[in-house]
Chain A
């Protein structure tokens, strides 16, 4: 066992591409957004028109790249993934109440994170579009748009820190990062953390 490590594939190329497009766009948007938002950074950088362009064009590129990957990627696989993320069974509900229960390819926390991330992507896009377009047509200017955009940023930052902690630092979970970079994870790790997935995959290898 020690000499021969067995790996199982957890994330497809399409899934990984979507994840990393989202992650890298988020970081650029966060960085440029903070420069636009935090007075001290705005003063330090001071090239607001340029930073604004970076922010807006990154947002457009982010949505276009996600759409492109969905268009040319493994759509059947994505539909299956969406279904996995959507459905919570009794084990998931107990797991969320901190009862240790076997989990599928995504644990219940990951499912919730995916739902929140998707909702935030929509809300960031809509509020961001309104901020941009409201500057051009005042009928689309609402006093609350900027509060929503900024509020989302604060909550998303908390989610990001939690996600990074579990993916990079926390000893028992950080192996998951291998799945998101190389695609595969150790079978023994997966059996411990995502047992129902391994059992189902091994019962029906051509799933």
Chain B
């Protein structure tokens, strides 16, 4: 410290500048990321899948273990306010009219995945054989991952691009994405897109789902719910 007069408080300035920039990014990070991530896509593709979340997916679960799909034992039960309750095998599910779509996926915590290719069954086709009764208003999706559950109104489930999906990006749904079948409803946040669906209960009123019991909105429209 030979020239005390020339000392400058760069340490605290660096601290304040970085802290300030970081806090302000709460306001601009997402739109800026959207703008630049398109440009960064070729780079992301070069990275091995699943090592870094280059695909944008994060795997959220609520139970101590992730359900495992056994094709011989698995049944999809459709029950409640229906004339003929069903228990579909995996093959029977796959033989129902097939629908395909490309749609985005949005998580309420802020991450999104663009252009996911889904294949599955529209709910109208899925429910046809069970014959819902006239007073049926909602579908409750019970996950094999206890105690995860969520509901959609029939009108939500009949949106043009809502489905029970069994394929993602050209291959059977992977375990971490809800194998063998999950709800896909791109207009709503991920927590309405129940994974590992094993039972669909047709009912006449909405029961709050897993996250809804914890304060989340029942109608989880992307961009118009949950304070976003």
Interface residue from B50, B216, B226 paired with A39 (Cβ < 8 Å): B50
A residues in contact with B10, CB < 8 Å: 86-88, 92, 111-112, 115
Do B64 and A49 touch (CB < 8 A)? Answer: yes
Bound Cα distance from A111 to B50, whole angstroms: 37
Contact A43 B33 (CB under 8 A): no
| A146 contact from B12, B110, B227, Cβ within 8 A | B110
Q: How large is the interface on A (under 10, 10 to 19, 20 to 34, 35 or more residues)?
A: 35 or more
Task: Give the number of chain B interface residues (Cβ < 8 Å).
Answer: 53
A186 at the binding interface (Cβ < 8 Å): no
Q: Which of B16-24, B69-77, B192-200 contacts A (4 or more CB under 8 A)?
A: B16-24
Residues of B within 8 A of A140 (CB): 227
A196 in contact with B1 (CB, 8 Å): yes
| Stretch in contact with the other chain, from A11-19, A60-68, A129-137, A170-178 | A129-137
Contact B19 A40 (CB under 8 A): no
Residue of A nearest to B106 (CB): A143
Partner of B58, one of A37, A131, A142: A37
Asked whether A47 lies within 8 Å of B64 as measured between CB atoms, the reply is yes
The answer to whether A48 has its CB under 8 Å from any CB of chain B is: yes
A24 CB, min distance to chain B CBs, angstroms: 23
Would A144 and B60 count as touching, CB distance under 8 A?
no
Q: How far is the CA of A119 from the CA of B52 in the complex (A)?
A: 25
Whether B11 contacts A86 by the Cβ 8 Å rule is: yes
List residues of chain A with CB under 8 Å of any chain B CB.
Answer: 36-40, 42-43, 46-50, 85-92, 104, 111-112, 114-116, 118-120, 122-123, 126-127, 130-131, 134-148, 151-152, 196, 200
- Told that A42-B61, A49-B61, A196-B2 touch, could you supply 19 new A-B pairs with CB distance under 8 A? A37-B53, A39-B58, A40-B50, A42-B58, A46-B61, A47-B65, A50-B64, A86-B11, A89-B1, A112-B14, A136-B214, A138-B216, A140-B227, A142-B26, A145-B109, A147-B29, A148-B25, A151-B25, A200-B1
Q: List 27 interface pairs A-B (beta carbons < 8 Å), by A numbering.
A: A38-B53, A42-B58, A47-B64, A49-B64, A86-B9, A86-B10, A86-B11, A87-B7, A88-B7, A89-B1, A89-B3, A89-B4, A89-B6, A89-B7, A90-B6, A111-B10, A112-B10, A115-B11, A116-B14, A119-B14, A122-B19, A138-B216, A141-B228, A144-B110, A146-B110, A151-B25, A151-B29
